Amino acid sequence: MSSGKPIRRGRSLALRLALWYAGIFAVSSTIAFAIVYAMLVSILRDRTDEDLEEDVAELAAMMRDEGLERVQAEIDLEVQGPHAPDVLIALWSPDGTSLRTDGFEWPGLRPPLEKLRQLEEDPEPILETLAAPGREHAVRMIYGRLAPDVVLQFGQSLDEDEELITAFRIGFAVTLVVVILLGVPIGWFLARRALRGVEEITRTATEIADGALDRRVTVRTRDDELDRLARAFNTMLDRIEALIRGMREMTDNLAHDFRSPLTRIRTTAEMALAEEDPSAERESLAAGTIEECDRLMEMVDATLDIAEAESGAARLRLTDIDLKDLVLEACDVFRSVAEDRNVALETELPERCSVRGDLQKVQRIVANLLDNALKYTPAGGRVTFRLSERDGVVALSIEDTGVGMTSEETYRIFDRFYRGDRSRTDHGNGLGLSLALAFARAHGGNIEVRSAPGKGSTFTLVWPGPRRSA
């Protein structure tokens, strides 16, 4: 039975890698934007501060060389120029008396007494950013001494800088959205391309789990990590296949070697029974020996049949088989056993369902599945056959109301010589289900199991496309 399951897209490694790729790229872009944004703001602020400090230095030099009137004339030119709406110029005396105010309106402009005191203590210019009343943009303000009795307050609007920063933020937001939208498909493409080798290994492993032990992963010439993984995987498969082949050869050889001594033992026991007037004890011993020899011969034959079917060497005499008639014949054969166990046999069969197969091997499949169901169904239980055909595949289900199995037992039920704990006291060798599965797979079919403790089990024989079904 194949245990492979379809991969859900939400759990796909490629999708997770694509989302991670887009997420990491978005976070990285955001961090890069934050760094560039901080640098841009700092550069614009430093440039504005340098311009303001240069203006203060020029006016201070002009005050020293040409006096206050020359400074006033320079201020007149500034407030009448093209940048007049974006500047504020005020002259103050050290005691806070206004000597002049020009530029944009600043309601309730008051003397900057605190700044005047600071300049008394330290003549270095003072810079600060203020929110101008009634204006959309902030103002960068500088306070500097032009002379011992004159202090310049010069404010410049930051509208151009803020508009540039706003445009930068909008551009980054649009770019980030585009990056995320493109990052997912690009990441999906890169992840799928990177995981192509892993998917090939997964497909090969699934095929091997289904019985194709000769499958290998294609090793390319890139000699990257995936190629090294493929080579290691193929080496491991070669060793596993060699081990399995050796174990099978050993089992087959043992089975062949057992056949001859068992035959001789059985013949000797039959000769002992054929003697005239054998004692009762001797007769019982010979009969028991023959019975055990027959049991061992059955195990040997079953082991050889399984090995032959699994190796692909089994010769199938294919004919058209009506599964409905075959199931009814199996029920007739096992009806006495079912009645002895007080187990009801029921069928839900169509008018006709024909498949291609080897009649004897298909009979053994059905007989082994039915025998297993009866063995595990207690008195008063029921075994039901259901036969259906859907999408070109025939499904024959044998459902019982028996003791059921745990998930661990379900996983091991087809192993050779495996017998559940509840069947240890019953006659059997643990090869019936292994043989049924080997014969089913030799025909291209399979056997699926659904079971739960205390709720019974359902074995479903899945058969490849029938030639005709009604």
Q: Is residue 294 packed enough to be buried (19+ CB in 10 Å), middle (13-18) or exposed (0-12)?
A: exposed
Q: Given the DSSP bridges, would you call strands 150-157 and 138-147 parallel, antiparallel or unpaired?
A: antiparallel
CA-to-CA separations, 62 to 54, 97, 100, 123, in angstroms, rounded: 12, 22, 17, 17
295 token code pair: 């049991």
Partner residues linked to 140 by β-bridges: 129, 156
Average pLDDT, the chain: 80
> With 90 as the cut, is the pLDDT of residue 269 above it?
no
The CATH topology of domain 225-311 is: Helix Hairpins (1.10.287)
User: Which comes out higher in pLDDT, residue 380 or 78?
Assistant: 380
- 72-99 confidence digits (pLDDT tens): 888 888 777 676 677 888 888 888 888 8
Domain with CATH 3.30.565.10 in the chain: 318-469
- Say how far residue 443 (Cα) sits from the centre of its chain: 33
Domain with CATH 1.10.287.130 in the chain: 225-311
> With 80 as the cut, is the pLDDT of residue 345 above it?
yes
Partner residues linked to 78 by β-bridges: none
User: Which comes out higher in pLDDT, residue 242 or 62?
Assistant: 62
User: Which comes out higher in pLDDT, residue 461 or 87?
Assistant: 461
pLDDT at 331 (0 to 100): 93
Kindly state the average pLDDT of the residues 311-316: 70
Indicate the pLDDT class of residue 467, thresholds 50, 70 and 90.
very low
pLDDT at 303 (0 to 100): 72
User: Which comes out higher in pLDDT, residue 179 or 147?
Assistant: 147
User: Which comes out higher in pLDDT, residue 326 or 176?
Assistant: 326
Kindly state the average pLDDT of the residues 279-303: 70
For residues 227 and 197, give the distance between their C-alpha atoms in angstroms, rounded to a whole number.
8
Least confident stretch, 60-69, 93-102, 221-230: 221-230
Least confident stretch, 39-43, 45-49, 116-120, 228-232: 228-232
> With 90 as the cut, is the pLDDT of residue 369 above it?
yes
Closest alpha carbon to 286 in 297, 296, 275: 275
pLDDT at 263 (0 to 100): 73
pLDDT at 381 (0 to 100): 92
> With 80 as the cut, is the pLDDT of residue 363 above it?
yes
Inter-residue long-range contacts of 4-10, CB under 8 Å, 24+ positions, other chains counted: 4/206, 4/209, 4/210
Other beta carbons within 10 angstroms of residue 353's beta carbon come to: 24
Q: Is residue 202 packed enough to be buried (19+ CB in 10 Å), middle (13-18) or exposed (0-12)?
A: middle
> With 80 as the cut, is the pLDDT of residue 160 above it?
yes
Under the phi-then-psi rule, with left for phi > 0, alpha for psi from -120 to 50, and beta for the rest, what region is 97?
beta
The CATH topology of domain 318-469 is: Heat Shock Protein 90 (3.30.565)
Partner residues linked to 157 by β-bridges: 139
Indicate the pLDDT class of residue 470, thresholds 50, 70 and 90.
very low
399 token code pair: 């459902």
Q: Collect all residues with Cβ–Cβ distance below 8 Å to 9 and sequence separation of at least 6.
A: 15
